[in-house]
Structure 1
């Protein structure tokens, strides 16, 4: 009996201890759940949201390989953008620039993309170029911080003005359609500005409320990018009057804008509008926080986007060159001087058909604009995280409701609307701003590529390589980096030249002085507070 009672006492004590332990475990699990999850109510439904550190974007990984490839593929929209600026190529360079210039731009862009893809595989971060410039810059920590801050200014404002370029492309296409159907209509500068501002609204709304539609949108954009390309060439081939082979392949560089007698300059100036659409592939990297296995996925998306867009632009421009006809008559008879509208109208003889074909260009550029806004908002957020922008504590805020950097998205909207408004008072200044992103973005590519090239030439380590790497054997990596830098310098040297000669205050290309202004702002920021405020970026991507 005593033994039994003793056993029962021991068992009771054990039960109490087990219950206490279970209670402690349950309490810890409940506490952990309360730390990790919060309940919120939306549309009457309970949603479970994971808490994250303040002012950070969740690494959700909801973008898989094919959607991010489609993202980059549609982001460039090369043949669509080149089509809407075709008149600029006809003014300088002619068919020689369209054919051989697009081939040169394609090869050069691939060299640059190979260099950027290797760095993206090593270190896929939202900040991209400014992070890499700081990482590979020669000198000590002060020099690295300087180049990081400088590069951030150049890259961010290059992308912001690049978004305004897409708005201008689309506004020109829409207003040309309006003129086609209403020949007496003469669009005013304020009307162009309003159309540009109207195009800002859909991508902002899409980034806020329809972010989960990004994957199907990328599929639609990528498929449309390819299908419309085929349809455009098929219509020209079936209905247009084809020119001679000599007019396409044997024509020397020409100029209708005052560069006669200087074929090399005419070719280079005409190459600028072809080169610009092949920039911006680094926008894919800005989405790395939402992309699965970014070290492998991002480089592949960059290379697929650049190679395919280069091939598509080259083939499309060759086909279009056969159906230009009398270029002077084409430029004079095209609504708002939009040459591609004249090409479609001449081939089809139908205003409705020409309208649909021009809308092919506009629709894909719209989807591209959605991608640009998502990309630039994240770039501005990343730069603010490193205290790169003045008032970074304000811009770094991330909306917990949308998981979006709303304030940098708002900054982008303000800048683009301001650029649109400038077109009301000064068309010349606005045209210069369209040339600015080419210089800024190519400069943002050139700086980190130059730094990693110098390291390789000096035999210094460049860090742990990622899954994608350029071959070192035979100096392949050095050759690719060196040729990429040469190509960038070649394009930049023509981007600041006036498109019309003689140059006057009304037709001067102010892109060079404006780029110099941004450089001065970056240097002033460094001297005033940036050298104390800016934090050297560190790799923070979670693979």
Structure 2
């Protein structure tokens, strides 16, 4: 007889073996009850994935990284490289998502793929993934809040950029998405479809205005102009790689829709496709947007040294010659980016809840509860929202330090992809018969695609912590590496003190055909 018990979150589970048809999965804990309501269909799921990345919108906000290190040619070829790399990662993770789509995602897969030490590996993976996503959802409030300040500078050149105002604007940007996630959860699917339409429609409108009004740069300027030496980096490869931050960050987060899997209908089929379609759509759109911006940009130095803090604001103003037109075009990018925060909050909330459900967090009993009225992990949402508000105070002390947090989110995410992908390759080479077949399979391309994904993720992870400027000072230092190192040490310490006693691995449950 299998022993049944009542979990802290109110769902019945029983301990016992669950095996795939070919014996791939070993002993796990089976969750008997679906806790979250499935309300997202295929279209809303694809829209969720596409809007969550908000790639072309955030590519405009992060344009300075590429202009400072590499210039137009580095941006163009960098977004191509970033799209191909992230598409390889999305395809590889999609195979795993089709086997078991779950809010915990990476730490679930690492547990089942690890040949040994699976409890520690999955626990460590969970901490890195949760922290990276908590930092990632700070990007939208920061970009939008500081871009609002930049537009104020454009309107009133005498206005002084003050850091504490950026913090207040971050709060203002984040409050409504938090409220929507609490009180309007049922219409989130409709919001995603509407946001997906805006995400797609606003792009050609923005490009058309720029192309019609702006003078055109020659082809050589866009495709062959490489700018080096501005930042102190001299080596061609180093300049290009360091400048990739501006095109890597907008495509980071390909796993976002996976964490909503327990609220997606027919998740084993829908989630893998949504990941791939969302990544492909965003990569193509970002490429088109950046090409248009580079063809239409005016004075390079004026854009790079813009008093607004954002080259894209100056580029749009140079192109249109009109401040009202600049406000409108910037709003067309900021609005979908803001709605992407709705998605990001929902995704990281489910991830945090899943980790707490499995006793990964301190005070897991408290954070694992699903609110019976709102039918969401309300306490996990408040925890994530608290992280946004807490991290926003860093802006007051140092913008460079906060930028490191943003770099940290991207770096941490690629490391979170690397762990299960490396374990998957090891499994393919040592025991391929133990890998179950899901609804999505790369077939014979599986191993080559996994290796390409690992290559890209490793390359991105190596250069993301690099400082953008030489010589390195306390002000321009990229603190992403040290901060992530601290998070990893904290995860190891938590394992020694608490995790090894509490963490038994992720909980799972069998899926019905209708799910």
TM-score, normalisation: structure 1: 0.87
Distance apart, 1:335 and its partner CA: 4.0
Map 1:287-302 onto structure 2 (within 5 A): 287-302=260-275
> How many residue pairs get matched?
485
Distance apart, 1:109 and its partner CA: 0.6
Match of 1:248 in 2: 222
Tell me if structure 1 keeps the 8 A contact 2:51–2:192: yes
Distance apart, 1:326 and its partner CA: 2.5
Match of 1:8 in 2: none
Match of 1:32 in 2: none
Match of 1:515 in 2: 484
Distance apart, 1:457 and its partner CA: 1.8
Tell me if structure 1 keeps the 8 A contact 2:54–2:282: yes
Map 1:45-124 onto structure 2 (within 5 A): 58-124=35-101
Match of 2:189 in 1: 215
Q: Higher mean Cα deviation, 245-254 or 167-176?
A: 245-254
Match of 1:162 among 136, 157, 163: 136
Task: Supply the distance in 2 between the matched residues of 1:324 and 1:352 (Cα, whole angstroms).
Answer: 18
Q: 1:255 to 1:293 in 2, by over 3 A?
A: farther
Match of 2:161 in 1: 187
Match of 2:297 in 1: 324
Map 1:225-240 onto structure 2 (within 5 A): 225-240=199-214
Task: Supply the distance in 2 between the matched residues of 1:455 and 1:489 (Cα, whole angstroms).
Answer: 19
Report whether the alignment pairs 1:382 with 2:354: yes
Distance apart, 1:541 and its partner CA: 5.5
SS of corresponding position for 2:441: coil
Tell me if structure 1 keeps the 8 A contact 2:400–2:477: yes
Match of 2:463 in 1: 494
Report whether the alignment pairs 1:373 with 2:345: yes
For structure 2, the 5+ residue unaligned runs are 1-9, 14-30
Tell me if structure 1 keeps the 8 A contact 2:36–2:376: no
Match of 1:483 among 452, 462, 480: 452
For structure 1, the 5+ residue unaligned runs are 1-50
Task: Supply the distance in 2 between the matched residues of 1:269 and 1:73 (Cα, whole angstroms).
Answer: 26
Q: CA RMSD in A?
A: 1.6
Q: Higher mean Cα deviation, 207-216 or 516-525?
A: 207-216
Tell me if structure 1 keeps the 8 A contact 2:151–2:308: no
SS of corresponding position for 1:281: coil
Tell me if structure 1 keeps the 8 A contact 2:65–2:245: no
Distance apart, 1:59 and its partner CA: 4.2
Distance apart, 1:167 and its partner CA: 1.3
Match of 1:402 among 364, 367, 374: 374
Tell me if structure 2 keeps the 8 A contact 1:125–1:540: no
Match of 2:236 among 263, 274, 284: 263
Match of 1:134 in 2: 111
Task: Supply the distance in 2 between the matched residues of 1:478 and 1:80 (Cα, whole angstroms).
Answer: 33
Match of 2:435 in 1: 463
Tell me if structure 2 keeps the 8 A contact 1:125–1:541: no
Match of 1:19 in 2: none
Of Structure 1 and Structure 2, which has the larger fraction of its residues in helix? 1
Task: For residues 119-163 of structure 1, give each alpha carbon's deviation from its aligned partner in whole angstroms, at most 9, with x where no partner exists.
Answer: 000111110001001110121xxx111011000000000000001
Match of 2:151 in 1: 177
Task: Supply the distance in 1 between the matched residues of 2:34 and 2:99 (Cα, whole angstroms).
Answer: 21
Higher-Rg structure is: 1
Match of 1:454 in 2: 426
Q: 1:91 to 1:541 in 2, by over 3 A?
A: farther
Task: For residues 314-368 of structure 1, give each alpha carbon's deviation from its aligned partner in whole angstroms, at most 9, with x where no partner exists.
Answer: 1211121112232112223x34231111111111111001011111121111110
Task: Supply the distance in 2 between the matched residues of 1:109 and 1:211 (Cα, whole angstroms).
Answer: 29
Tell me if structure 1 keeps the 8 A contact 2:59–2:246: yes
Match of 2:505 in 1: 536
Task: Supply the distance in 1 between the matched residues of 2:434 and 2:466 (Cα, whole angstroms).
Answer: 36
Distance apart, 1:58 and its partner CA: 3.3
Distance apart, 1:281 and its partner CA: 2.1
SS of corresponding position for 1:461: helix
Task: Supply the distance in 1 between the matched residues of 2:236 and 2:327 (Cα, whole angstroms).
Answer: 34
Tell me if structure 2 keeps the 8 A contact 1:449–1:481: yes
Task: Supply the distance in 2 between the matched residues of 1:501 and 1:225 (Cα, whole angstroms).
Answer: 37
Tell me if structure 1 keeps the 8 A contact 2:368–2:380: yes
